[in-house]
Structure 1
Amino acid sequence: MLGLNKGEVRLVPHATDWEEDFIEEKELLSEAIGMLVVDIEHMGSTSIKGIAAKPLLDILVGVRSMDDVTKFDKKRLKEAGYYHLGRVEIEGKVVFAKFTNLEELTKTHVLHIVEYGAEWWLKHTFFRDYLNEHPDVAKQYEKLKKELAATYPDNESLYAEGKLKFVDEVLSKEKTRSFIINEGNLQVRELERVDKVLLSKWLTDPEILRYYEGRDNPFNFEKVEQEFFDDEEDVIRCLVEFSGIPIGYVQIYIVEGEEKLAYGYDDSSQNIYGMDQFIGESAYWNKGIGTQLVRAMVTYLTEEKGADRIVMEPQTWNERAIRCYEKCGFEKVKLLPGNELHEGEYRDCWLIEHNSKTGVGA
């Protein structure tokens, strides 16, 4: 049973129903504040398999901006038992707690509200995931927690302080991001789940959708999850950064089978890659960055992936994009009539190609 009085430090054996409790609470929170939240995840020791924990459910709530917390419906949260802990001042985090007994200040749930994908979000999720992936380390953590709980049964602050060194050592194992392209101001790295906020932002912007996916086809978070993260296609999906700022998306994939034949490539020995991309921040349009990106991706595909040819299918009306690709060595190969459904119409596309042996289209 969940519940811990103020200042009390008490561990209980791991309970399998903690995950069910979290799922129920997530549904409750989604109804109360879901419109302002990117994601809600289980965190803390109750989310780590097989180890003892305080009977207190820690819940991580990710928002687009901390300013969104001021828009929460506090009345609905209070009706659900949650109160804002205004005295808990942690930079980059706002804390709410659920109480079953206000006289004893018996807490059952704690909400850690942070910016989705920012430092706190990454720390909490990495620590949880690392311990779940390394049961031996999780048992070491459990042993430390039991020793601290026995030493400080009535001092939550000293108990928490005693865990810091261990937590920091685990967090130090977090890998730094690796880039498949890192040239001057331009970086390209593989997509991470935290990037869904950016993708949803870009793919709900009519200005972006006019060129990519269509203004009648916006992507909410659920659709981004399905199309970019749950899809099992053999596609390498990447985020594009410029001077450390995320500005766009690029994906690459091997062209094979029926698609290869439809393009007219009968030589099965050729290594052919397809590529799609967009700059999601319109402030970075018309600055040569798209051309820089395409050239860098061509170099990566030919030198690192051994691509004989690289193909794309821009819609015929998108002359600005086609000029960019032509500057990068692509040439029109053939017209693909009615090739792509875009804003309710089947649009003509050009099959364009970069040939690594000639440096241009065949």
Structure 2
Amino acid sequence: MEKTLNGARVVLRPAVPEDIPPLATIRATPEVYATWRGGDDLLAAVTEDLDEPGITSLVIELDGATVGAIQFGSEEDADYRHANIDIYLDPAAHGRGVGTDAVRTLARHLISDLGHHRIVIDPAADNAAAIRCYSKVGFRPVGVMREYERGPDGTWHDGLLMDLLAADLTDADPDPDPTDVTG
């Protein structure tokens, strides 16, 4: 994807090789590493993420600084067509509406420009801040996926499947929450 997307506060742009070190630094923060991990070589993990077939990764910029990454993939079978989103954000940017703006900006692009009618996202079931962030954009819980992902401690944890239909996409936060650590 060559297109840059402008949100209310963020810019989403294609990643370049110079983005790998700052993204690896963000991935190394305890809050991000707990859910994204990537092994001992986070530079290699970020590089692999940016090159993953079928996935488009974008850098999240706030005031010209790299503060995270957001990615999407698509199921193109006409009978099941939809997109999926995943995101990580520097904890220093939490609580400022950055994650909400990034998710909303990408969702708008997926719906308006790429013609998707449905988008899914799957936060950890106990990640209340992420769930609140995604809900502000219009995502709704679909169900709990039991023992969905392995945590850094080796135990299995539940995930929450959420989806957004085109008609559910909100244009603004109905109730900004200053305690929202992902948004």
TM-score (norm 1): 0.43
Choose the corresponding residue for 2:156, options 332, 335, 346.
346
**Using CA pairs below 8 Å that are at least 6 residues apart, which structure has the higher relative contact order?**
2
Choose the corresponding residue for 1:206, options 30, 36, 40.
30
Q: Which structure has the bigger radius of gyration?
A: 1
**2:134 matched residue in structure 1:** 325
**1:337 matched residue in structure 2:** 146
Instruction: Determine the C-alpha separation between the residues in 1 that align with 2:86 and 2:139.
Output: 13
1:29-108 pair list within 5 angstroms: none
**1:271 matched residue in structure 2:** 81
Instruction: Determine the C-alpha separation between the residues in 2 that align with 1:323 and 1:275.
Output: 16
Query: Is there any run of 5+ residues in structure 2 with no aligned partner, and where?
Result: 171-183
Deviation at 1:179, TM superposition (A): 4.5
Corresponding letter in the other structure for 1:236: T
Choose the corresponding residue for 2:17, options 168, 182, 193.
193
Aligned CA distance change for structure 1 residues 298 and 310 (closer, same or farther; 3 Å): same
Instruction: Determine the C-alpha separation between the residues in 1 that align with 2:18 and 2:70.
Output: 16
Instruction: Determine the C-alpha separation between the residues in 2 that align with 1:333 and 1:248.
Output: 26
1:17-32 pair list within 5 angstroms: none
C-alpha contact (below 8 Å) 2:8/2:101 kept by paired residues: no
Identity %: 23
Choose the corresponding residue for 2:59, options 224, 239, 262.
239
TM-score (norm 2): 0.82
Corresponding letter in the other structure for 2:32: I
Instruction: Determine the C-alpha separation between the residues in 1 that align with 2:169 and 2:45.
Output: 37
**2:69 matched residue in structure 1:** 249
Aligned CA distance change for structure 1 residues 283 and 256 (closer, same or farther; 3 Å): same
What is the alpha-carbon root mean square deviation over aligned residues?
2.1
Deviation at 1:276, TM superposition (A): 0.2
1:138-217 pair list within 5 angstroms: 179-210=3-34, 212-214=35-37, 217=39
Deviation at 1:340, TM superposition (A): 1.2
Deviation at 1:293, TM superposition (A): 1.3
**1:220 matched residue in structure 2:** 42
Instruction: Determine the C-alpha separation between the residues in 2 that align with 1:308 and 1:295.
Output: 14
C-alpha contact (below 8 Å) 1:249/1:278 kept by paired residues: yes
Corresponding letter in the other structure for 2:61: E
Corresponding letter in the other structure for 1:324: C
Choose the corresponding residue for 1:308, options 110, 117, 129.
117
Instruction: Determine the C-alpha separation between the residues in 2 that align with 1:247 and 1:184.
Output: 15
Secondary structure of the residue aligned to 2:134 is: helix
Secondary structure of the residue aligned to 2:28 is: coil
1:262-301 pair list within 5 angstroms: 268-280=78-90, 282-301=91-110
- Give the number of aligned pairs: 168
Aligned CA distance change for structure 1 residues 213 and 244 (closer, same or farther; 3 Å): same
Instruction: Determine the C-alpha separation between the residues in 1 that align with 2:65 and 2:159.
Output: 31
